[in-house]
Amino acid sequence: MKKVIIASLLIAVTAVLATSQNPVNLYGRAAVGAKGVVAAAKPEASQVGIDILKKGGNAVDAAVATAFALGVLEPNASGVGGGGFMIIKLAKMKEAVVIDFREMAPAAATADMYKYGDDGKVIGNASVVGGLASGVPGEVAGLLYALDNFGSRKLKRDAILAPAIAWAEKGIPVTVNLAIIIRDELGKINTFPATAKIYTKDGLPYELGDSIKNPDYAGTLRLIAKGGVDAIYKGEMAEKIAKAVRDAGGIMTAADLASYQVKVRKPITGSYRDYSIISTPPASSGGTHVIQILNILENFDMAKYGDGTPGADHLWIEALRLAFADRGKYMADADFVKVPLAGLTSKAYAKELAAKIVMGKAMGSATADDPTRFESGSTTSFAVMDKDGNMVAVTKSINYFFGSGVVVPGTGIIMNDHMDDFALKPGSIQSIEPGKRPLSSMTPTLVLDPAGKPFMAVGSPGATRIIAAVAQTISNVIDHKMSIQEAIMAPRLFAMASGTVQLEGRTSVNTVKALEALGHTVNVRADWDSYFGGVHAVVFNRATNMLEGGADPRRDGQAAGF
C-alpha cells in the first residue's frame, strides 16, 4: 500500500510538473493564412481577430475586437483603464496614420506631485501603486475612434465587443505565465479589495488550470457596446472612475475624463536597406529610436557579421547606447516640447553616430549628441494583416503588471500607472504637466518592402526594451533572412546609454566572453526571458503569397490565420 501511495503521489506531482514549464512550448506559435493573420499575446485573442475577419470585417475591425479581448484575456497588461498606440495602413490609404490614445496627466497634476523619502525613493511607491499613479485612460476613446473612422462598418460595435464580453463572463484560463504574474503582484493586488476580489481566491493567487471570471468587466464592455465613448468618459461611469482613483489617493476628476482627447498623428518614417519603416511618433519615443538604431546599423554589413556573433552584438549594444543617450535628452510629448524628430531619424546624423563606434572596444557609456543640426523641417502588442494589404499594429498597456492595482469597484476596470513614465521631478523635458502625455516606448510599426508593398506589421511590450526588440526583429528578418517566427525566437539583448548589458540566456558562450573582452559588463538572464518583451508580428511572404504570423513564447503568444 505504501508503494502505491508513493507511486500515486509521484504521478500526481509529475502531472503538475508536466504542465508547469515556462515557456510551455516553443512549437506551434506561428500561423500561416492566405486571407488573414492575427498575432497576439493570447491564442484566444488572435482567434477573436480571425473570427471578425471571417465575418467580413477588415483589419481594423479585427484589431479593435482583438484589443478589447486582450483586455479580458491578458488583464495584467492592458485594458479599459489604460492607453496605447495604433498604427493603421489600409490598402486604399496613401499614408499610414497613428492613433495616439496614450494617457494624459490629470489637470491637477504638477511636476512635484510625488514626494521623495530620505532613501531617494518616491514615498509609498505612489507613482506605481494607488490612485496617484494613474493617468487619464485613453483606450476606449482610441479603439472606438479607429473603429468609427477606419473600420469596415460592416460589423456593428456590439459584434466587435461580443467576444470580449463572452470571455469575461466565461472566464479566462490561468496559464503558467498569468499564474506567475499574479503571484508576483499579490501584494499589490491584495492592497485593494476590489482587485483582490477578482484576481485572487480569498487572497491567494489563482493557479495553473483555474479560470478567472470578471462579470463586472463584462458589464462595462456592454455599456461601451451600447453607449460608445460616452459610456466611459461621461456621466456615472466617469464619476465612478474618478472616485475610485481619488479614494486610492489620486487626483483625477470626471472633468479629466470628459476632456480626454485622442490624437491622430502622422507616423514617423525612415528606411532600412530599401525597406520603408513606418512607426509611432511622440508621445512615444519608440518609432523614432527604432529608425535611429536601424540607421546606425545600416552603416555596417550586419548580414556579414552574422546573427548573435560578438561583432553583431557589439554593434547592437553601441547603437542602443547612442540612441538611448539621445532619448534621455530630447524625447518627450511633442505637443509640449520641440523634439528634433527629423534630426534623430536622419541618415547623416546616424552616420556620425556610427563613426563613434569602435569595433575593438566598448564605449561603456554614451552621451547625447546634437541631432538639431540635422533638422530640416509592462503592455501588450499585436499585429493584423489581411489579403487586401491592410495592416494594423497595436501596442497598449496599463504599464506595470496590474497597473496601479486599483480596480474601479463594480466595473472590473484596472487603472493604469503610467504617471510613472514621466520624469518624476521638475526640471526635465519629460516632467509632469497637466494634460501632457508621459513618454512611451511603445512601438507599433509597419514595414513596406522595397517595392512599397505591405511587408510586416510588428510590435512588442517590454518598456524600454520594446525599442530593441522591435529593431532586432526587423533586422533578423531583413539582414539574416529569418522567418518571422525565427526572428522572434532568436536571443535578444538590451543596453541603455550606460550600465550593464542584458543578454538573453541562449546567447553563445563565446559571444558572452568576447563581449566581456571588449569591455562590456554583461548580465546573462534566463533562456527565455519576458524582460526582453513579447514580439508579435505578421509578414507577407511574396514567394508563397501567404501571410505568416509569428508569436512570442516568452509570454503566451500565439498567432492564428485562415
Partner 1 sequence: MRRITVLIATLAVAVSAVSAQATAAFADRPALLTSIGQSADLEMVKVLLGRAKIQFASDPLVKAAGLPAGARTLILSVGGSSKGLGAAGISTDEEMARSKALIKRARELGMKIIVIHVGGEARRGTLSDAFIEVCVPAGDLVIVVADGDKDGIFEKLAAPTRIPVIKVAKITAAGAPLAAAFK
Chain contacts with partner 1 (rule: CB under 8 A): 4-6, 8-9, 11-13, 16-17, 20-22, 119, 176, 179-180, 183-187, 190, 201-205, 207, 526
Distance (Å, rounded) from C-alpha 174 to C-alpha 20? 11
Closest distance between partner 1 and the C-beta of residue 232, in Å?
A: 31
Residue 411 contacts residue 232 (beta carbons within 8 Å): no
Q: Which is nearer to partner 1, 34 or 204 (CB)?
A: 204
Report how far apart, in Å, the C-alpha atoms of 244 and of each of 237, 249, 500 are. 11, 9, 40
Q: Which is nearer to partner 1, 19 or 372 (CB)?
A: 19
Beta bridge partners of 395: 85, 381
Q: Which is nearer to partner 1, 23 or 75 (CB)?
A: 23
- For 450, counting Cβ atoms within 10 Å of its Cβ (0-12 exposed, 13-18 middle, 19+ buried), the class is exposed
Full DSSP string of 36-88: EEEEESSHHHHHHHHHHHHTT--HHHHHHHHHHHHHHHSTTT--TT-EEEEEE
Residue 270 contacts residue 291 (beta carbons within 8 Å): yes
Q: What is the CA radius of gyration of the chain?
A: 23
Q: How many CB atoms lie within 10 A of CB 348?
A: 11
Positive or negative, the Cα torsion across 514, 483, 55, 174? negative
Closest distance between partner 1 and the C-beta of residue 526, in Å?
A: 8
Closest distance between partner 1 and the C-beta of residue 198, in Å?
A: 16
Distance (Å, rounded) from C-alpha 84 to C-alpha 135? 12
Cell of 23: 515557456
Q: Which is nearer to partner 1, 207 or 449 (CB)?
A: 207
* Active-site hit among 345, 379, 395, 445: 379
Report how far apart, in Å, the C-alpha atoms of 561 and of each of 296, 439, 541, 553 are. 35, 34, 14, 18
Q: Which is nearer to partner 1, 185 or 479 (CB)?
A: 185
Closest distance between partner 1 and the C-beta of residue 24, in Å?
A: 12
Q: Which is nearer to partner 1, 190 or 483 (CB)?
A: 190
Closest distance between partner 1 and the C-beta of residue 46, in Å?
A: 25
Smallest Cα–Cα separation from 454: which of 48, 92, 142, 143? 92
- In the residue annotation, 14 being an active-site residue is answered as no
Q: Which is nearer to partner 1, 95 or 119 (CB)?
A: 119
Closest distance between partner 1 and the C-beta of residue 386, in Å?
A: 38
Residue 160 contacts residue 61 (beta carbons within 8 Å): yes
Closest distance between partner 1 and the C-beta of residue 97, in Å?
A: 37
Q: Which is nearer to partner 1, 95 or 202 (CB)?
A: 202
Contacts of 494 (CB under 8 A, 6+ apart): 320, 464, 465, 468, 501, 502, 531, 532
Name the E strands within 160-201: 172-173, 200-201
Cell of 509: 558562450
For residue 415, the 8-state DSSP code is P
Closest distance between partner 1 and the C-beta of residue 126, in Å?
A: 15
**Which positions are annotated as active-site residues?**
379
